[in-house]
Amino acid sequence: MAFSKDVLAFDRPAEVTRISTWFKASVMGTLKKRGVVIGLSGGIDSSVCAALAVKALGPDKVFGIFMPEHHSAGESLELGQLLAKSLGIQAITESIAPALEGAGCYARQDEAIRAVFPEYGTGWKSKITLPSIVDSDRLNVFQLTVQSPTGELKTARMPLSSYLQLVAATNYKQRVRKMVEYYHADRLNFAVVGTPNRLEYDQGFFVKQGDGTADIKPIAHLYKTQVYALAETLGVPEDIRRRPPTTDTYSLPQTQEEFYFALPYDRMDLCLWAVNHQVPAAEVAPVLNLSAEQVERVFKDIASKRRATRYGHLPPILVEPIFHETHEL
């Protein structure tokens, strides 16, 4: 089959049935849990995972949690509540801001930012961005963009130490959210659902021991384009399906391609599919309206991220195996 945008087409109803059957067998059989807990962000991935969970287990066995903090967009909570209502599931709101303040998340973020912009303070906002690698071979050097209370924007290259501190402090958010999810999972005897799609999972777009941690990940095999397709089939509210993918992590609005991916998700999906199926860049380029050279840069970025984020997928390293194939857990 010639490469085209149709390579990601699939039988949506059949896939819903396949995942739902697997979901129920995994939760009730393999994990021996009574239901599932899922953090709801108002985004497409958590929404589809929640809808699949309801399809598999029923609404009474799905428990949703909204976990806003100081930098969360108000739209995230509103859309999450819309989803919970449409699915008929129980959902609660637990602000993680007090926990983040206690852990020093915000203070450590501000300290890292002030190393670049000393004037940064109350009323300012910020985000991390990456220059596009599509149009040049320059190094992926992270940049910090800040906005003053008067709306003035400033951007500067981040020293590695400041970048690492800012990301490390920000990762508290994903890790605290996962602690909250597991608290409720433990008290309910439920499993925790992870929501990465294939693009995020493959490219390491998650926090180790944060949103990368879960008991079950029902959409990790699906490209994000396919997740959007399933959302329509599952009846996810249109307002959620229309929302552009965001990180919803920094105080300034930030798209996923600004922070991590080389292209918008629909084109990244096709590039990743091409890499996985050994399709040459010259064949991919006209479909994406890019040059073969630009597609090669994206291919190299995919390979680079796989190497750089391999650590996130690794389990703890042991001196020797503890459990053998004949050992039943």
In the chain, domain spans: 5-102+165-312, 104-164
pLDDT at 138: 60
Rounded percentage of the chain residues whose pLDDT exceeds 90? 86
Task: Give 151's DSSP letter.
Answer: -
Quote the pLDDT of residue 141. Answer: 79
pLDDT of 325 over the 90 cut: no
Pair 163, 128: CB distance under 8 Å: yes
In terms of pLDDT, which residue wins out, 260 or 190?
Answer: 190
Closest among 222, 308, 227, 233 to 273, alpha carbons compared? 222
Q: What letter does residue 25 receive in the DSSP assignment?
A: I
Mean residue pLDDT across the chain: 94
Only one residue has tokens 């009574």, namely 34
DSSP states along 47-97: HHHHHHHHHHH-GGGEEEEE---TT--HHHHHHHHHHHHHHT-EEEE---H
The residues with which 160 forms a beta bridge, in sequence order, are none
Q: pLDDT tens, 66-93?
A: 999 999 988 999 999 999 999 999 999 9
- Residue 248 pLDDT level (bands cut at 50, 70, 90): confident
219-243: b or e for each residue (b if 16 or more CB lie within 10 Å)?
bbebbbbbbbbbbeebebbeebeeb
Q: Which CATH code fits 5-102+165-312?
A: 3.40.50.620
Task: Give dist(CA 154, CA 142) in Å, integer.
Answer: 14
Query: Mean per-residue pLDDT for 47-59?
Result: 98
What are 30-48's pLDDT values in tens digits? 999 999 999 999 999 999 9
Find tokens 């998700």 and name the residue: 265
> b/e for 7-42, b at 16 or more Cβ within 10 A?
bbeeeeeebbeebbeebbebbbeeeebebbbbbbbb
Cβ neighbour number for residue 157 with a 10 Å cutoff: 12
The string of pLDDT tens digits covering residues 150-166 is 999 999 999 999 999 99
Q: What pLDDT digit, counting tens, does each position of 119-131 carry?
A: 999 999 999 988 7
Order of strands, edge to edge, in the sheet holding 36-39?
90-93, 62-66, 36-39, 191-192
Tens of pLDDT, residues 174-190: 999 999 999 999 999 99
Report, as an integer, the average pLDDT of 247-269.
Answer: 85
CB 226, CB 10: distance < 8 Å: yes
The predicted-structure confidence for 208-222, as pLDDT tens digits, reads as follows 999 999 999 999 999
